[in-house]
Structure 1
Amino acid sequence: MIRIFATSVTNSRLARKIEKDFLNTFIVKEVNFDLEDRDNIFRVDTAENEICAEKVKHFFRMFGIQAFELED
């Protein structure tokens, strides 16, 4: 399952650090940012392992970043 979050990340260096830390923290298939999107999108492919949106938001809060899940 792919979950999509709008974030307050604007710096590509920080985005790379977050991607790396996220992959080291959670068992997921893939993560990536789209900082060219107006919502600074963070995508996470959870594959078979479900991650609740609250855990993702808490992870971002540890970096002082706002994030909220975008619904279909």
Structure 2
Amino acid sequence: MEELKTIIRKKLEEGADAFLCLVDEEGSPVPALVTDADSPDLDRVMVGEVRYPLGKLLIELLREYPDK
């Protein structure tokens, strides 16, 4: 998991606008849009068998912020 957090931090520091991921919220995975390499959400990033429509969320974000 630390490797994933390191990759996300590096990408944000290199200029990525944001990273959409799942974070642990009281034992349940929820989507989070991380926009800062120092975000406390990075400490809660999780990976697992959870299915979440992240693709649909990305499409909505692209529609709302087409220039990002």
Shared topology, TM-score over 0.5? Answer: no
Q: Indicate the structure with greater helix content.
A: 2
Of the two, which has the highest radius of gyration? 2
Task: Quickly name the TM-score band, shorter chain normalised.
Answer: under 0.3
